[in-house]
Structure 1
Amino acid sequence: MNQKRSFFFQIFVVMSTILLMAGLLSGCFSRGKKAREEEAITVLIQKAKVQSFQQFIDLNGQIAGRNEVKVYADVSGKIAQILVKEGSYVSKGSVIAYIDRAQVGADYALAPVKAPISGYVTSVSVVLGQMISPGTVPVASIGSLTEMDVIISLPERFVRDVEIGQTVYLKVAAYPDERFTATIYRKDLAVDPTSRTLTVRAQIQDPRGKLLSGMFADVSILVRESSKSIVIPSSALVELENGKQAVYVNQDNVAKIRPVSVAFGYKDKVAIQQGLNPGEEVIIYGKEFLKDGTPIYPVEEEN
């Protein structure tokens, strides 16, 4: 009987030891797992998607009638008559104003100011009785009201990116919800030495009589586009020691560095030419805390 009790006691001790060891191992495993979870860096990720992407040069421009010219007087004197008003059509050579050159002790016939081209009077810059001199104040401006241009002063750093035929999108304050389209048809061959800009003209397609000469416009020149590009936020880019670029991708909740080649960028996004596949999870925020192989806790942002 004592032997039997001793046998059961020994079994009890062995089983208790096994259960105790299992509990200790389970606790160690749980603490290790919890420690690993606490070490993981929370990052924001976004799945790489294929989409169309465009690059623009954003500048300012001014609306003007096609071939618009300013008309100056050939002589000094006082404005005696104004024969036109804004919006009226004039033919080349027709008189638009007269200047009184009269001086004390001398009489002169009124001197005519003639239109150098045919078109519409877009502005009259003088009033009756005003004194003017040749080449100072224009009497009026004449141009087209149906064929309108946007004149752009292009900084010289963008000269090689802009060519004849490129599309320009523009908006004006008078119609904030409308976008007008123009096509570049002229590009000067010399940069202004003072402003370091090149004058570019684009013909506005169907202005519908809404755009007026002298209006200020926000313009965007389309320089590159792709119908199928992997587009990601530029905040995802990391510069490597060799000067090349890379991104961190999520592989089983581990951050892995991936060299990439950027095709072009615009504002806060870039088109990736090589190095990424559609659907891969790219880390867009939190990368400054990472290195290759860092455990991460990914939170997805929809794009």
Structure 2
Amino acid sequence: MYMKKHTGNLHTLSRLSIIILFLGIGGCQSKQGNKTQVEAIPVEVQTTSLTMVDNTLNLSGNVDPIAMSNVGSPISGKIEKIYVKEGDFVKQGDLIVQMNDAQLEQAKLKYQLSKLDYERMSKLYAEHVITQQQFDQVKTVYENDRTAFEFMLSSTQIRAPLSGVVTSKYLNDGEMFILFPGQIGSPAIVTIMQISRVKVTVAVPEDYLPFIKIGQKATLTVDPYPEKIFDGTIARINPALNKNTRTFLVEIHVPNPKLELRPGMLASVKLYLGKIKTILVPSDAVLKIPGSNIEYVYVVNGNIAQRRQVKTGKYYNDMLSVTSGLKPDEKLVVVGQTNIKDGATVEINQTH
């Protein structure tokens, strides 16, 4: 009796062990199944679209006078008097330097004598007293002496060749002006610059050649007046490109009535090339591979994040233009992009 009862208890325990083992295995499999289930990463996206923006190009260039002249004499000589100093404004034709006039007096006397001779011979020629050859000889001497006197006059009484401001004075009264200086002397006595208008020359990349036209608007700023914008226009386009830099020079003319722009200043220039359609994205949506210039973004296709290499253009406030790599109506990740990788499963929490 006892043996039968004991045997029955053993059968019962065996059944219970099998059930417990089965449940244990099932429980382990359930836990392992939960571990292999992929958890979606929350992100926020923005639907891309084309936006009309100003097509501008930012460059830099130096401010130069619209015209300038290094003023000297066509002959070497002693300076008697300089009538201007640095900062003086002069008008075209103003007397600015008086050179020694000893040679001028000689040329003047010779010219006056030949003029009297020419006037006398003109009357005799009109009365048929002298021949054509005799008259022509007198006339030639007179014209040569007149030319020599006028040359000496302009060489000793030096006048401003243009209206502007005297920016440099190299010599003083009583010093020698040497036309071709060696260790001493100066090739000019003063420099005059016309700065009521100025010019700024910028080097433009060759890709922009089709967009640059004479008369196009440009603006510029300089560090001394950071809040002021100066308006200018494109006045000249160099037809040849620099083969080393692949750029061409563009000259911009800028009115400068208050003389705030000074030669030698560095100007930040913005050229306006019309309007274009482009895709604008938040600048922090664009990521970069460390140690390279490769830029990329993430777009969502279904619930999968895809990494997309892009090329970017200019900033528009906190937005960045994407010139290639994105199309309109794509879901661009704008929040959570630093937490995902290519092929990650994501969950869109919000669409901007």
TM-score, normalization by structure 2: 0.56
Separation of aligned partners in 1, 2:26 and 2:243: 83
Structure 2: give runs of 5+ residues left out of the alignment. Answer: 108-151, 181-185, 290-294
Counterpart of 1:280 in structure 2 is 332
The offset of 1:32, in angstroms, is 0.9
Which protein has the bigger helix share? Answer: 2
**For the residues of structure 1 that align with 2:84 and 2:42, how far apart are their CA atoms?**
68
SS at match of 2:161: coil
2:170 is matched with: 126
The question of whether the paired residues in 2 share the 8 Å contact of 1:151 and 1:201 is answered with yes
Query: Does the Cα contact within 8 Å between 1:90 and 1:121 map onto a contact in 2?
Result: yes
Per the alignment, in what secondary structure is the counterpart of residue 211 of structure 1? coil
The answer (yes or no) to whether the contact 2:195–2:259 under 8 Å persists in 1 is no
Q: How does 1:47-126 map to 2 (within 5 A)?
A: 47=46, 53=53, 56-66=56-66, 68-73=67-72, 74-100=74-100, 111-117=156-162, 119-126=163-170
Deviations 1:273-299 (A, max 9, x none): 762426532697699x63xxx225799
2: CA distance between counterparts of 1:209 and 1:90? Answer: 15
Q: Are the equivalent residues in 2 in contact too, given 1:191–1:198 (CA < 8 A)? A: yes
Structure 1 position 102, deviation (Å): 7.2
2:34 alignment partner, SS class? helix
CA offsets per residue over residues 166-188 of structure 1, 9 Å max, x none? 33332323223444332212223
What are the within-5 Å matches in structure 2 for residues 250-269 of structure 1?
Answer: 250-251=300-301, 254-256=304-306, 265-266=313-314, 269=320
Deviations 1:11-46 (A, max 9, x none): 97897567535522320122213xx45xx9x99987
- Greater Rg, structure 1 or structure 2? 2
Tell me, which stretches of 5 or more residues in structure 1 are unaligned?
239-244
- Which sits farther off after the overlay, 85-94 or 47-56? 47-56
SS in 2 for 1:212: coil
Report SS of the residue matched to 2:226: coil
User: 8 Å contact 2:48–2:327 — kept in the other structure?
Assistant: no
The percentage of counterpart residues that share the same residue type is 22
Q: Which residue of the other structure, out of 9, 25, 32, is the alignment partner of 1:28?
A: 32
CA–CA distance in 2 between the matches of 1:124 and 1:58? 33
Report the residue type matching 2:231 in the other structure: T
Change (3 A) 1:211 1:153: same
> 1:200/1:228 Cα in 2 relative to 1: closer, same or farther (>3 Å)?
closer
Secondary structure in 1 matching 2:224: coil
State the partner residue of 2:129. none
Contact 2:199 2:253 in 1 (8 A): yes
| Range moving further from structure 2, 19-28 or 185-194 | 185-194
Deviations 1:94-121 (A, max 9, x none): 2222334879xx998871222223x221
Distance 1:75 1:286 in 2: 79
User: Partners of 1:81 and 1:182 in 2: how far apart?
Assistant: 39
Quickly say closer, same or farther: Cα 1:159–1:98, change in 2 above 3 A: farther
Counterparts of 1:105-184 in structure 2 under 5 Å?
Answer: 111-117=156-162, 119-128=163-172, 129=175, 131-133=177-179, 136-137=187-188, 139-145=190-196, 147-154=197-204, 159-184=209-234
Is the CA contact 2:279–2:328 (under 8 Å) kept in the aligned structure 1?
Answer: no
